[in-house]
Structure 1
Amino acid sequence: MSIIYVDESGDMGMSNGSDYFIITAVKMEEFDNTKYCRIPKEIRQKGLKKKTKKIAELKFSNSSVLIREMFLKRIANINLNIYSLIINKELTQQKLKDNLPILYNYLIKILLEKVLVDIDKSHKLKICLDKCMSPNQKMNFENYLKTEFFSLFNVIPDVEILHEISYNDQGLIVTDFICGSFGYKYNTAKLKGDCDCYTSIIRDKIKVEKNDLFKKK
């Protein structure tokens, strides 16, 4: 079975907030997923300060440089592929800005097109996302995703789509550190310093880093 985790960094709101919206997928096989999901527990047991151990959900945004590097170095030792879309919100078309659910589906389509070509279509596929959609949005999204899968492979997909609360899913916790690394890179690129200090740790696992979407050619 192939497993894909999908996470986001930044926000899709177009008037305020971050300059970038980043959506990242991580693809691996079931055997590697066991090691992937074990990372948060390993790090909590590595003699972290009591204050850190009490944090309900370890996240890139609330973690020290040490913890971020501990996560990423473990990720770098697992057989997986990373695919990321980096959206400069200033360049996003107005018609998409005015309908965020359509924009989200469009971005998921572009991202998963990159991932699905690396999937064995005979395998069962599990896709795990953060639980941030209404029931109606979930239904529309799942129908949309299955239709896209069929259009790519011309077969009825054996796909299980899970919408999980991130702090209850160890895989999503780990994926947050990957997505957060891209967020750090692009949001600090204008500042002095090593903006890719985190993504460089997982560089060999990054298969797609697309940052030219919506740019004028």
Structure 2
Amino acid sequence: MLELLTGSGLAMAAGLNAYVPLLALGLLSRFTGLLALPEGWQWLQSDVALAVLGALLLVEVVADKVPVVDSVNDVLQTVVRPASGGLVLAAGSASQTLTVTDPAATEGWRWVPVVLGVLLALAMHGTKALARPAVNATTAGAGAPVVSTVEDVSAVALVLVAVLLPVAVGALVVAVLALLVLAVRRRLTRRRERLAAAP
């Protein structure tokens, strides 16, 4: 169970920033004893992977701080972030960490973590992508760098919590899913009200 919570936290972080958890998995596995990537995922800690992920992270961080560019970036990331979520949940749930000493528990059903990771990252990404235009409109673009920085810090924090304290991720997953359901309900209610008010 802890291995799925670790992977879920990583997938949620991917929904905020696709490259933070991928880069973190590679760095943590290569340079610390906090996480050991399983066989088949060790390419994440290679020099080439770390360099490419670092460059992509830099581009993402800069693009996400510029109003209007951030919304275009969110559209482009609609495929990348969920894909990253699937990858990191699969890799993270099969990794050995300080709290997960038997990651082989997920071995028999490898496709489930990928699908769950895609869904969690898509939920986070959807929330972010829907909120960002509203932030830009209400702050005349001044809020974009602030909100983006908070998202980046949150992605890093999610990775650390997922690796060091995966139990806390469970409560966070429930909260995020509840907020997403509320947001969808609110949007549908507004849509019905507009349709009812239209002549």
The structure where helix makes up a greater share of residues is 2
Fold shared by both chains (TM-score > 0.5): no
TM-score of the aligned structures, taking structure 1 as reference length: 0.27
TM-score of the aligned structures, taking structure 2 as reference length: 0.29
The structure where strand makes up a greater share of residues is 1
